[in-house]
Structure 1
Amino acid sequence: MDVLDALERRIAAALQLNPRASWRTVAQALDENERTIARHGTDLLASGRIAAVGIRSRSASLLVRARCAPGSAPVTAEALATRADSSFSYMVTGSTDVVAEILTTRDRLAHLVSIELATTPGIAHAETLPVLKYFRTIRSWRIGALTRHEVESLLGSRPVRDEGSLADLALSAQDQDIADCLVANARMSYEEIARRAGVSETTARRRVDWILRNDGVQLRLLVEPAAVGLPLEALVWLRIAPGKIDGIGESLRRDSRVRYAAALAGSSQIVVDVTLPTGEELYRFVTESEWASGVDSFDITMVVRARKRGGRLNAPSVT
């Protein structure tokens, strides 16, 4: 895993805040030479060490915890990763072999659970846990490489997004074409979006703004945690009394170590994806955090391979 240097981390951190920011905007915010920023940023994107992508918002989201037949975990992780509607697919330790998230619509849940997952290669048993609320998704995760002033320069007056809703925004055929462009490449130029969607550049600008403002597509900058000095990733499954869920969820939302946190319907009430430098830091996370005393019990599964993140397939060798 190639580790990003200091400038590369700052560029990645800037694009986390605003994936469509121009190189000029990034350079001005970071007080760097525009050509230097453009050269390094273009190389990061072209090499795949970072990726700016979008994910369509959906009205239903489901976590799948799969136990696999012996030796079948890579096959199952691959099958779930290559689904167009999955956002991530991880091989993990413990009694569960693979964890994946599927973004869908409510009218497809029955077929998804009873037929599609049941016939997924390698799965011996699957637990499905519908997401009730997001406290944080990876579009809000920050690698912490910028000063407060730099953050404010990049965010400007843009509102802070609420991670808590699940929605399926109705799009026209034209808007769907534009949304597909943003999903494939969040930094695609308005000129290219206009060409692909068969509209004027002015229309493309207006519709992109509308789609993003209404959360039809959620943009995010993807970077492997290990590339920014966080090689240990774990999913922490919390069991909590109902009255404590919201308070603990809000505490997790404020914790910079958390990449993803969601309230679930199932055997665990909250799942947390956390990335840290060492196992000692993970120990402190689950024992010393302000929310720890409110949890009845928890399980930890370590992520050993991320085949898909944020809707993008990683190379099979990426861990």
Structure 2
Amino acid sequence: MSWICAYPARLVTTVGYCWISVLPGKRRRVGSILAADPAAYWIEALEGDFSYFVAIRATSLRRFHATVENVEVLPGVVSVRTQVVRSVLHDGSRWQPRAVGPVDPGTPPVWGVEPTFSASPTQKDLGLWTALLRNGRASYIELATESGFSERALRDRLPKMLHSGVLTTRCDVCQEALGLPVGMFLSIRGTAQGPRLARVARRVPGVRVVSAVSGTAPFLLLVWLPAPSEAERVLATLHSAIPDLEVERLEFCVRSIKRYGRLFGPDGRVAALQPGIGEWDAMTAAPAPIELR
């Protein structure tokens, strides 16, 4: 129902969000192709004008757009709208369900362009990261076996990676197990109280992600809810704290398809770990056309 993983967030210089419209009858096929792409680390099926929300990580803006171009030519895709992430202000690495409490205004972003480690990881590093992505609770002995590091070297290296921010730990959970099966994206237009919005949103129960993004709506929130009707409570809370807040778009998530290498079944439970190429390989490899069968 819950799990911990670690991933090299600080080596990622570009994260982009895609809102994808698909023709009726093509959703399942397009969704399967998107889920098989390791560069797409987070996918939600949506209701309404857009069929899918897809988050893509890359080592440059050019690589991100090359991946988007591959998506645009998939049979059945009608349109792709993109947003580049300026910073992630709150996400699953700091999240507790239904937790409400004071938030330190000085809390730094979860993610930003702050590389603190060589962008040329060794094969042993890649093996370590792959093992931690699968299981953040793995023992040093297990990690040493999978990565090729000696246990002694690993006990010295891994804490340094975590302390420097090279590796970010993340707690994830099945929404249904929490009684919060409905996801809601809120695209927020500019407000004079932008910095305050980020602080307020982090204190609203169920808010899972707060991102600063490009475009006419510079903030994107993801909220987990027990039912769509709870959207009014969230909106009322935000409006009471920030009267000039304007919601440009509201989208409900039908279900999660993929998060950080884990594929989800229709019941919201993890169905499989994504096999094959690792995250770093996917980010650094020259984008190639997606194979269609």
TM-score by length of 1: 0.73
Q: How many Å separate the matches in 2 of 1:238 and 1:92?
A: 18
Instruction: Say if 2:77 is the partner of 1:77.
Output: no
CA displacement 1:77-128 (0-9 Å, x = unmatched): 32222221222111111111110111111141332233x2223443210001
Alpha-carbon distance in structure 2 between the residues aligned to 1:275 and 1:68 = 24
Correspondence for 2:43 among 89, 92, 97: 89
| Cα distance in 1 for residues equivalent to 2:73 and 2:200 | 38
RMSD over equivalenced CA pairs, Å: 2.4
Number of the residue aligned with 1:62:
16
The residue type paired with residue 228 of structure 1 is L
Structure 2 counterpart of 1:282, from 231, 249, 252: 231
Residue pair 1:81, 1:308 contacting (<8 A) in 2 also: yes
**2:250 maps to 1:300:** yes
Per the alignment, residue 151 of structure 1 pairs with none
Gaps of 5+ in 1: 1-48, 149-159
CA 1:56 to 1:76, structure 2 compared with 1: closer, same or farther past 3 Å? farther
Contact in 2 for aligned 1:175/1:207 (Cα 8 Å): no
Aligned residue for 1:117?
Answer: 71
Question: Are residues 131 and 189 of structure 1, via their aligned partners in 2, closer, same or farther at CA, if it must alter by over 3 Å?
Answer: same
State the partner residue of 1:38.
none
Amino acid of the residue matched to residue 221 of structure 2? V
Task: Classify 1:231/1:172 alpha carbon distance in 2 versus 1 (closer, same or farther; 3 Å).
Answer: closer
Q: Which residue number in structure 2 is paired with residue 19 of structure 1?
A: none
State the shift of 1:312 in Å: 1.4
Match of 1:133 in 2: 87
Q: After the TM superposition, which of the residue ranges 271-280 and 130-139 deviates more from structure 2?
A: 271-280
Q: Please give the secondary structure, in 2, of the residue aligned with 1:227.
A: helix
Q: Per the alignment, do residues 109 and 313 of structure 1 end up closer, same or farther by CA in structure 2, a change over 3 Å counting?
A: same
- In the other structure, the counterpart of 2:204 is 255
Q: CA deviation at 1:191?
A: 0.6
- CA shift digits 1:229-267 (9 cap, x unpaired): 2122211111124x4332212221233321001011124
Cα 1:262–1:67 change in 2 (3 A) is same
Q: Is the 1:66–1:96 contact (alpha carbons within 8 Å) kept by the matching residues of 2?
A: yes
Q: Which secondary structure state, in structure 1, belongs to the residue aligned with residue 50 of structure 2? A: coil
Maintained 8 Å contact 1:61/1:102: yes
CA distance in 2, matches of 1:316, 1:78: 13
Contact 1:248 1:294 in 2 (8 A): no
Matched ranges for 1:222-233 at <5 A: 222-233=172-183
1:193 is displaced (CA, Å) by: 1.3
**Does residue 150 of structure 2 align to residue 200 of structure 1?**
yes
**Is the 1:89–1:101 contact (alpha carbons within 8 Å) kept by the matching residues of 2?**
yes
Structure 2 counterparts to residues 114-263 of structure 1, below 5 A: 114=69, 116-144=70-98, 162-168=109-115, 169=117, 170-173=119-122, 174-241=124-191, 243-263=192-212
The answer to whether 1:104 aligns with 2:76 is: no
| Deviation at residue 292 of structure 1 after TM alignment | 4.6
Paired amino acid for 1:294: D
Q: Would the aligned equivalents of 1:54 and 1:218 in 2 still touch at CA under 8 Å? A: yes
Give the residue type in structure 2 aligned to 1:279.
P
**Residue-by-residue CA offset, 1:132-152 (whole Å, 9 max, x unaligned):** 11111112221258x99xxxx
Distance 1:183 1:161 in 2: 23
Asked if 1 retains the 8 angstrom alpha-carbon contact of 2:204 and 2:234, the reply is no
The letter of the residue matching 1:54 is: A
Find the counterpart in structure 1 of residue 275 from structure 2: none
Q: Which residue of 2 aligns with 1:265?
A: 214
- What's the CA shift for 1:291? 4.3
For structure 2, the 5+ residue unaligned runs are 102-106, 270-293
Q: Distance in 2 between matches of 1:310 and 1:202?
A: 28
Q: 1:54 to 1:81 in 2, by over 3 A?
A: farther
Q: Is the 8 A contact 2:187 2:221 kept in 1?
A: yes
Shift of 1:295: 1.7
Choose between structure 1 and 2: higher helix proportion: 1
Give the structure-2-normalised TM-score. Answer: 0.79
1:296 maps to a residue whose letter is: E
Is residue 51 of structure 1 aligned with residue 39 of structure 2?
no
Query: In structure 2, do the counterparts of structure 1 residues 311 and 140 end up closer, same or farther at CA, with 3 Å as the change threshold?
Result: farther
